[in-house]
Amino acid sequence: MLFLPLNGNGACGSITEIRKERRRVYVCELTIEPKYSEFDMMGIIYHARYIEWFEQGRLQLSRNLGFDYFDMEQAGYISPVHEMNVEYKRGIRYGDTVLLKTRVIENNGVKTAYGYEVYNGEGTLCVEGSSSHYVVRREDFRPVQFKKVFPEWYAALEEARKP
């Protein structure tokens, strides 16, 4: 997977359409300045931090589409992680600025999956990952059909995912 820049300043202020192999891919870019406390004894980012960053990217992508998980929670629903995959290719070192790229890779009305890429300050791909999520009722964790409960949100994610 190769994503192109969202905008010149690296901010995640909007979603853009990028043409690659005659497909449209919507990507959210988020610049992260790692804190000293996020590094381990080896001088690289502690492995679990990437999962937290993935969450930041996912939340920002939804905000850019006009939706917020807080509103989902207020309506009595939550979206727990179903599956998480992380492939560590190269460590992020202290002093690096991180670029996180997030996109929708699956949205079938029940499950939504996201793809992530993490780059260091030199533009080297360091981590790739993905996560999948279901929407459930907060009171009993029973799954619901995302496209029926939040049809506008589903449609926006589907548009972002579509080739």
- Domains assigned to the chain: 16-161 (3.10.129.10)
Which residues neighbour 65 within 8 Å (Cβ) at sequence distance 6 or greater?
15, 153, 156, 157, 160
What are 39-76's pLDDT values in tens digits?
A: 999 999 999 999 999 999 999 999 999 999 999 999 99
40 part of the active site: yes
Enter the pTM of the model: 0.84
User: What's the confidence (pLDDT) of residue 24?
Assistant: 57
Average pLDDT, the chain: 87
What are 98-152's pLDDT values in tens digits?
A: 999 999 999 999 999 999 999 999 999 999 999 999 999 999 999 999 999 999 9
Provide the 3-class DSSP secondary structure of residue 110: coil
How big is the CA angle at 32 (ends 30 and 33), to the nearest 5 degrees?
Answer: 160
Write down the catalytic residue from 40, 68, 71, 140. 40
User: Residue 30, Cβ neighbours under 10 Å: how many?
Assistant: 20
Beta bridge partners of 115: 103, 130
